[in-house]
Each structure stands twice: as C-alpha cells, then as structure tokens.
C-alpha cells in the first residue's frame, strides 16, 4: 500500500500503524534483516532492472525478512519462482525445506513487579496485597506486603512463553489468615507487541538502544499510557503501567524483559 502525505486521506489506523512501525530505519531493520552482504541496496544510479528486482524481493517475496515472519501466499510463491527463473541473486532458502520448530516454549519472560499505587481497602482500614501472574497454566506469585496500599515489591517473577501464548494475566489479592483471600483487581497484558518486535529484531545484543515497538492505550485495554518496547543494554524490555479492572481503585507498575530460547 502506498499513501501520499499530501494527496491521500490517512485514517487513524494508518497513522497508528506508521507510529508503531517507527519510521523507515526501523522498518528496514526488519525487512532487510537478512540482506546478503554481496547484494547491496540499489543506489540512485542503479539500473532500473536491479532496483525492480530488489524491491520485489524485499516486499513481495520477503527474501530478506526473518523466515518466521514471512507471509506465505500463492502469488508470492509464484512470484518467487518467476524471479528465480530470471535471476537467482536474491534467492532464499525454501521454506518447505526448513526444519519445523516443534519446541513447546519459544521464550522466557522476566517480569519485575515494581509497585502498586492506591490499592483498594479490603480489611478494616488497609489491605495485605500480593500479586499473582498467570500465563497459560503457569502461575507465579509475589510476597505479601502487610498493611500497605502503596506496596513496593521490585520482585522478579519468571514465566516461560508457550508457542501459542495468550495474554499475561495479573491479579492482586488481599491475604487473609482465617478466610479466603479477597480479590483487589485484575488486568491483562497483551504480549504480542513485545514478542513480535523481539522476534523481528533477533539478537538484541547486536543492536544499539532504540524503540522497536509499542502497545497502544485504548478504551479496550487497561493501560494508563502507551507502553513502549525498547532494546536497552542489549535486552528487550517494556515498561507497563496498568489501571486495575473490576475494582474501585488501584494501579500497577511492571517491567517486562524478553529472553528468546535458542
């Protein structure tokens, strides 16, 4: 899709998509991640035939994209065969010969539960909160903070990310000694923006510090502000500020760190 800044009307989703991509340099770092060293990018004085082949290989057949991110289509495969019959200089490894990845888990999340603010009262005047994180059938829990509506944990919880992952679920409870623990709010964290960006950029230790993704605040999620995915000191990280749901008050701050399993 091609849109002019002056001739076309941009929808809100078009603008959001462009912001999420982050501009040409970020897009190129994905679409040219596997560009062969012996096939440089075309220059302004390069022949039109070479420029055409490069553009089609980059965007249509996605030869330079990370294999796991390529979008397969009949047209794309036919185009690949057509291009290869003319010139195989941009050929890539055939996907049908690539070994199938059957691992149960694709990565690990190290979640720092930083703090809570303005949590709900569940006892006489206060609460004894703790946090439970769930991903699939896995659960991890912080310690209990006695009589504290603004607890600071700074505790790291670890969860493995399954191949077919869903949202990361957060629940805050009030610990009770003689009765069932009371719920103090909940929230869901969409992991797709972080994991998709992390997979696209590969080894983060090979990149300088930069923004690589964004989870947008909308009416449909519990974000207090847009959540930015960054490469920082060779690691993929994301700070998340949440408004707890189904409760009268309460906010949570977390930091996620992604580690891919090789």
- pLDDT tier at 103, thresholds 50, 70, 90: low
d(Cα 181, Cα 188) in Å, to the nearest integer?
20
DSSP 225: S
- 11 or 27, greater pLDDT: 11
Element containing residue 63 per DSSP (H, E):
none
Q: Which pLDDT score, from 0 to 100, does residue 69 have?
A: 62
Domain segments of the chain: what residues?
12-60, 105-260
Residue 98 has pLDDT above 70, yes or no: no
- 52 or 102, greater pLDDT: 52
Percent of the residues in the chain that have a pLDDT greater than 90, as a whole number: 45
Contact (Cβ atoms closer than 8 angstroms) between residue 256 and residue 241: no
Identify the three-state secondary structure at position 8: coil
Residue 119 has pLDDT above 70, yes or no: yes
- 116 or 99, greater pLDDT: 116
Q: Mean of the pLDDT values across residues 196-208? A: 87
Q: Which pLDDT score, from 0 to 100, does residue 260 have?
A: 83
Identify the three-state secondary structure at position 236: strand
- pLDDT tier at 223, thresholds 50, 70, 90: very high
Phi and psi of 118, rounded to 5°? 60, 40
Q: Which pLDDT score, from 0 to 100, does residue 27 have?
A: 73
Q: Mean of the pLDDT values across residues 1-14? A: 81
Report the top-level CATH class of 105-260. Answer: mainly beta
Q: Which of 133, 138, 215, 218 is nearest to 169 (CA)?
A: 133
Q: Mean of the pLDDT values across residues 22-32? A: 70
- pLDDT mean across residues, the chain: 83
- pLDDT tier at 57, thresholds 50, 70, 90: confident
Residue 37 has pLDDT above 60, yes or no: yes
| Contact residues for 87 (Cβ-Cβ < 8 A; gap 6+) | 53
């Amino acid at each position: 899709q091609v849109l002019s800044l002056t001739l076309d009307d941009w929808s809100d989703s078009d603008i959001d998509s462009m912001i999420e991509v982050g501009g040409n340099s970020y897009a190129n770092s994905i679409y040219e991640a596997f560009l062969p060293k012996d096939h440089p990018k075309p220059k302004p004085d390069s022949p039109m035939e070479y420029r055409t082949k490069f553009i089609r290989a980059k965007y249509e057949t996605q030869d330079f994209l990370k294999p796991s991110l390529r979008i397969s289509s009949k047209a794309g495969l036919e185009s690949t065969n057509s291009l290869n019959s003319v010139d195989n200089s941009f050929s890539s490894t055939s996907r049908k010969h690539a070994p199938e990845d059957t691992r149960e888990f694709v990565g690990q999340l190290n979640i720092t539960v930083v703090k809570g603010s303005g949590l709900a009262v569940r006892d006489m005047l206060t609460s004894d909160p703790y946090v439970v994180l769930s991903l699939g059938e896995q659960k991890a829990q912080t310690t209990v903070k006695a009589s504290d509506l603004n607890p600071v944990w700074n505790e790291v919880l670890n969860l493995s990310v399954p191949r077919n992952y869903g949202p990361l679920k957060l629940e805050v409870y009030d610990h009770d000694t003689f009765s069932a623990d009371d719920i103090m709010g909940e929230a869901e964290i969409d992991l797709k923006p972080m994991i998709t960006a992390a997979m696209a950029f590969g080894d983060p230790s090979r990149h300088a510090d930069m923004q690589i993704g964004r989870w947008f605040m909308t009416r449909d999620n519990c974000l207090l502000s847009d959540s930015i995915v960054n490469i920082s000191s060779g690691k993929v990280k994301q700070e998340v500020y949440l408004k707890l749901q189904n409760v009268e008050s309460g906010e949570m701050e977390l930091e996620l760190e992604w580690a891919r399993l090789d």
